[in-house]
Amino acid sequence: MNALEGTLQVVRPTEARRMLGQWLRLARQRLEWTQPMLSSRSGVPVTTLSRLEREGAGGIDALMRVLQALGALDGFHAHIREFLRQASLPRDLADLPPLPKPRQRVRIRRSEQEGK
């Protein structure tokens, strides 16, 4: 079974969004930035930032710009890249394509080289 199928979902999307909002607020506060400061650095309106922090609600573009302004976009990208790598793995080792046959080494005898 692959990591994306058949998993028991304990966390609801609303809970995950709220946790994301809490994380965004804490990341901003750790940098000692106000919402207007983050707004000017990210280009995301203060009202959208407030909604992102409070409810985790907002567009993906706004979230990406906020993550970039907070210096967290590279880490997010690394997580997504790893999920993509895992999703591209075969479910079973038997599903792997066969390895190509190794090339055989060809020896040229001296008598053949001298004839040229």
Q: Which tens digits make up the pLDDT trace of 91-107?
A: 777 777 778 888 888 87
- Which CATH number is 13-96's, of 3.40.50.170, 1.10.260.40, 3.20.20.210, 3.40.390.10? 1.10.260.40
What is the pTM (predicted TM-score) of this model? 0.65
pLDDT of residue 97: 76
**Domains of the chain: which residue ranges?**
13-96
Using 50, 70 and 90 to split pLDDT, how confident is the model at 1? very low
Residues 61-79, mean pLDDT to the nearest whole number = 92
Identify the pLDDT of residue 96. 74
Alpha carbons 116 and 102: distance in angstroms, whole number:
29
